[in-house]
Structure 1
Amino acid sequence: MSADHYFSAEPAAPARPIEVEFALRGRDYRLASASGVFSASRLDPGTAVLLRKAPAPDPGTTGALLDLGCGYGPIACVLATEAPAADVYAVDVNARARELTAANAERLGLRIHVAADIADDVRFAQIWSNPPTHVGKAELYALLDRWLPRLTPGGVAWLVINRHLGGDSLHTRLVDRGWVVSRVASQKGFRVLGVTRKTD
């Protein structure tokens, strides 16, 4: 039995190639995936809800957009397609996921900066994430505590989380940490949250 998880930095199991297809806003996407990454064989239901329910950036959007925990890159590829003038970043601890995201960006002719980490001085107009709930609450909260403060003053983070895996408790914790949180959608057991800074 493999001890690999989608949040393993270097999956040990051989990569079994998979193709994932989905349609969004009149566009068809066909992305390369592989075993050892998050939701390798399909567009994850939470990610699908996030992409359909959170407002997509318009074509004139500029600035930096972040796909946090990118997997094989469906969110990053959609963001780069919808907002070609933006600087799209994709971050994942999983090296195989990063390789797949970079390959998918190249295949689709998209400009995506793929990395394990990003310089501290980069600030994001938008953060999009289907965060890794299975790493445990402490790790999940630490991840968001690290990245959410990197929003620009008028920036927004769009998060999707399963209601049965802590969606409501995450909402409460973010408010307790000083964020303004709105539930923009609830579908198929998932919450889509919009997170912004408090304004004086």
Structure 2
Amino acid sequence: MTDQYFSEQPTSASDPVSFRLEIGDVALDLTTDAGVFSRGRLDKGTRVLLQNAPEPAEGDLLDLGCGYGPIALWLAVRRPASTVWAVDVNDRALELVRANAAAARVGNVRACRPDEVPADVRFAQMWSNPPIRSGKAALHELLLRWLPRVDGTSYLVVSKNLGSDSLARWLGEQGHPTSRLSSHAGFRVLAVDRSESVT
């Protein structure tokens, strides 16, 4: 593998693979590709998140580290009156989100790089299978950048073996009270409350 899924410009040759996502009452045909997280399938963590988190809120919703868009499109179908911001640094991933949204005739997804999200947008919720393998420092920086912009609860799915419990403790220490919503198949779904420091 020549790329990490958090590479901005994947150098691996494009090799699209499609599959059908079916969770609850949502069924979507999604295209994935090389150089993007979880090519050809829905990864276990994202499935655990979508099956165990509560109903999404109305309003602006954030899918942080969206990949090819399974969370963003699922949210968009469930909440057609909401705007779902699908944010990633991987340009190939963002192209896939746009193509998948168009194919599904979902018009309320905005796929963009982090610096393309208007500064005045605040989110009712954040949903994320965050890029744990980008490293602890990068992950912490990412979460501290976006969590203060969320007015409601943020839902993160993290593998127990990759530090979900220590991440929950660290978030609490940063003023973001975090609880374990569920645990399944080696993954924790963490619920991060609105920051105590937000005025």
Give TM class, smaller chain.
over 0.9
With structure 1 as the length reference, what TM-score do the two structures score? 0.93
Partner of 1:179, secondary structure, is: coil
Q: Flag the 1:133–1:24 CA change in 2: closer, same or farther, 3 A.
A: same
* Aligned-partner Cα distance in 1 for 2:55–2:69: 16
For residues 8-27 of structure 1, the aligned pairs below 5 Å read 8-27=7-26
The alignment yields a C-alpha RMSD, in angstroms, of 1.3
Q: Assess, with a 3 A threshold, how the Cα gap between structure 1 residues 163 and 72 changes in structure 2: closer, same or farther.
A: same
Structure 2 residue aligned with 1:35: 34
Q: 1:157 aligns with which of 154, 158, 172?
A: 154
Partner SS state of residue 124, structure 2: strand
* Other structure's SS at 1:104 match: helix
Give the match for residue 92 of structure 1. 88
Cross-structure match for 1:169: 166
**Code of the aligned partner of 1:135:** S
Q: Give the residue type in structure 2 aligned to 1:168.
A: D
CA distance in 2, matches of 1:171, 1:71: 23
Q: Deviations over 1:118-177 (max 9, x none)?
A: 12211000100000110110101110000000012xx11000000110101000001101
Identity %: 48
Give the Cα–Cα distance (whole angstroms) in 2 for the partners of residues 88 and 136 of structure 1: 26
User: Which amino acid counterpart does residue 31 of structure 1 have in structure 2?
Assistant: L
Q: C-alpha deviations, 1:23-44, integer Å up to 9, x for none?
A: 1113322101111100012101
Give, as a single letter, the amino acid of the residue that structure 2 aligns with 1:170.
Answer: L
1:93 and 1:75 map into 2 onto residues whose CA distance is: 16
| Higher strand content, 1 or 2 | 1
Aligned to 2:126: 127
Structure 1 residue aligned with 2:51: 52
User: What does residue range 62-73 of structure 1 map to in structure 2 within 5 Å?
Assistant: 62-73=58-69
Give 1:180's match in structure 2, choosing from 177, 180, 188. Answer: 177
Task: For residue 51 of structure 2, give the secondary structure of its aligned residue in structure 1.
Answer: helix
Take 1:78 and 1:8, find their aligned partners in 2: how far apart are those partners?
24
- Which stretches in structure 1 are left out of the alignment for 5+ residues? none
The Cα offsets for residues 40-84 of structure 1, whole Å up to 9 and x where unpaired, read as 121010000000000122xxx431001000000000000000000
- Partner letter of residue 22 of structure 2? A
Quick one: which amino acid aligns to residue 76 of structure 2? Answer: A
Provide the C-alpha distance between the structure 2 equivalents of 1:3 and 1:139, rounded to a whole number of angstroms: 20
Shift of 1:3: 2.9
What's the offset of the Cα at 1:17? 0.9
Distance in 1, matches of 2:157 and 2:54, equals 13
Do the aligned residues in 1 keep the contact of 2:178 with 2:192 (CA within 8 Å)? yes
Task: Give the gaps of 5 or more residues in structure 2.
Answer: none
- Give SS of 1:131's match: coil
The TM-score with structure 2 as length reference comes to 0.94
Structure 1 position 83 matched with structure 2 position 79: yes
Task: Report the Cα offset of residue 198 of structure 1.
Answer: 5.2
Q: Is the 8 A contact 1:56 1:79 kept in 2?
A: no
